Structure 1
Amino acid sequence: MANASVRPPAVAGQFYPGDPLVLSAQLSEMLSTAVALEAVRPPKAVIVPHAGYIYSGPVAATAYNALAPLRDVVRKVVMLGPTHRMAVNGFALPATQAFSTPFGEVPLCRSDWEALQRRTDVVVDDRPHAQEHCLEVQLPFLQTVLGAFELVPILVGMAGTEAVADLIESLWGGPETLIVISSDLSHYLSYEQARHCDRATVAQLIRLQDGLKHEQACGATPINGLLRAAARHGLEPHLLDLRNSGDTAGDRGRVVGYASIAFCESPDHAAAARH
């Protein structure tokens, strides 16, 4: 009988391989061939896409490669993504206490899970999480590059930018905490339209300018909150990869845009923090 305290994988065998050996081989291939547009310091936060691995996996891999130096540092991953299947007011936490993938279970951080429930805009509800892919598809990457960690999985529904930023701030922590925002960019434009639109979106992100619309990114709401929090903490955004499904595994008639962006402490900010 299934363990009710564990969320089973919903899209294994669809968005990514359900067989752990095949999954491991695919991840190894994507991570070993990923070349970022620029080298960066180990990030505090990343924005990564969440489509099927054949479409967005190579783009996501550029961000996950950047996390490799943090394998013995990061012990908690805060993940925020949009709800694709069920409307939510505010933020949804699962009631389950672990997420399962073909690689095994990732436990939730119980103390943060309990603390978040003191917020009036947080609900505990397994239903939005049950079939949602945007957080799940990140887990095999994270298990591969980080090893063991605890998870804070949050689905973001109707919420203001300041509320999202405040929630992220409450979970910010130190070097042991990584923040992952799961989002694709434009949806179902032509190849050239998407390239134009996504370049403009990324330019806005790199300026740390919140106010993204959902036409620009399905995860606009959590991204906007991260941009505000990142600005307060002096993080610098770096574009690691920007492509779309027409570049990876799809036709170019109607494409989905993908970007990987790393948010890193600036050298100046890091030096100031040591004094």
Structure 2
Amino acid sequence: MKRSMSVAGAFYPAECGQIETMIAQFNSILDSALADSDVLSIRPRAIISPHAGYVYSGFTANIAHRVLANSNPKRVIVIGPSHRVYLRGVSGSFFDAYETPCGDLAIDREYLERLSTLFDISFVPEAHAEHSTETQMPFIKHYLPHTKVIELVYGDMDPVALAKMCEVILQDPANAIVISTDLSHYYPLKVAEQKDMHCLKAVHDLDVEELERGCEACGKIGVAAIILAARALGLKPRILDYRTSADASGDESAVVGYMSAAFVE
């Protein structure tokens, strides 16, 4: 059974060649902008990546996935919030493969089944038509074509419980985590930036309390979980990029915020 694409042609191109062209354009900008920086050589254990349309958030997501590839993980666990289905806890991708425009990614069913013996992971099939996780997969297919993936979609749950799962996942050096989130939605630019700075500060300082001072990330539970796991495991945060939809559209009246970050040993 395959996890079929549900937002190809909407959030990202349905044609592989178009995705490859976009990634090449993003990297051309990165290589020029960060020529004198060490950012592109870091080796993260986990990243935070946005999940809007690639036209808006693709650049921000790309830098996170590009540096994640430096770590060459055996498997990547992609964790994102459910936007369309009410869900309690976590649903796991109990499929055999994950479809992308550039070919399928293998799903590590065996590892997911082992993980589900330690944590309460259900299977709610309709929860997996989820863009927050799916938008990460073409990047993974590009940078880590032979890695195995697991998709975890969460709903109403305690971030401490998700943090414990992240800790266990990251205790295995073969694993990496992608936390998917966008930031504030549809505020004027200046208001959005003020709210989003609470999200960035929370990650930079590994301070979950800061999330409650104004951060309106749709994946705030996941962000809190990776902050708690990073603290427990001694990982250090690096903010990679921040921008809003206004950077692409020019419309500052109602914007969405995007952040990418990395957690390194």
TM-score (norm: length of structure 2): 0.91
Secondary structure at the counterpart of residue 198 of structure 2: helix
Q: After the TM superposition, which residues 1-275 of structure 1 pair with which residues of structure 2 at under 5 Å, given as runs?
A: 5-34=1-30, 35=33, 39-40=38-39, 41-70=42-71, 73-119=72-118, 121-130=120-129, 132-211=130-209, 212-213=211-212, 216-249=216-249, 251-265=251-265
User: What is the CA–CA distance in structure 2 between the aligned matches of 1:78 and 1:257, rounded to whole Å?
Assistant: 23
User: What is the CA–CA distance in structure 1 between the aligned matches of 2:218 and 2:259, rounded to whole Å?
Assistant: 12
Q: What value does the CA root-mean-square deviation take over the aligned residues? A: 1.8
User: What is the CA–CA distance in structure 2 between the aligned matches of 1:135 and 1:116, rounded to whole Å?
Assistant: 18
The superposition leaves residues 70-125 of structure 1 with CA deviations (integer Å, 9 ceiling, x where unpaired) of 3xx31100111100000110101133221101011111112222123325632112
Secondary structure at the counterpart of residue 151 of structure 1: strand
User: What is the CA–CA distance in structure 2 between the aligned matches of 1:140 and 1:188, rounded to whole Å?
Assistant: 26
Higher relative helix content? 2
User: What is the CA–CA distance in structure 2 between the aligned matches of 1:109 and 1:127, rounded to whole Å?
Assistant: 20
User: What is the CA–CA distance in structure 2 between the aligned matches of 1:203 and 1:120, rounded to whole Å?
Assistant: 30
Structure 1: any 5+ residue segments left out of the alignment? 266-275
Q: Which amino acid aligns with 2:262?
A: A
CA distance 1:228–1:38, shift in 2 (3 Å): farther
The offset of 1:153, in angstroms, is 0.8
User: What is the CA–CA distance in structure 2 between the aligned matches of 1:250 and 1:222, rounded to whole Å?
Assistant: 29
User: What is the CA–CA distance in structure 2 between the aligned matches of 1:9 and 1:173, rounded to whole Å?
Assistant: 30
User: What is the CA–CA distance in structure 1 between the aligned matches of 2:149 and 2:181, rounded to whole Å?
Assistant: 18
Secondary structure at the counterpart of residue 33 of structure 1: helix
Counterpart contact for 1:89–1:121, Cα < 8 Å? no
CA distance 1:176–1:95, shift in 2 (3 Å): closer
User: What is the CA–CA distance in structure 2 between the aligned matches of 1:232 and 1:106, rounded to whole Å?
Assistant: 30
User: What is the CA–CA distance in structure 2 between the aligned matches of 1:250 and 1:133, rounded to whole Å?
Assistant: 24
Large movers: runs of 4+ above 6 Å: none
Secondary structure at the counterpart of residue 99 of structure 2: strand
Counterpart contact for 2:112–2:150, Cα < 8 Å? yes
TM-score (norm: length of structure 1): 0.88
User: What is the CA–CA distance in structure 2 between the aligned matches of 1:116 and 1:178, rounded to whole Å?
Assistant: 14
Secondary structure at the counterpart of residue 256 of structure 1: strand
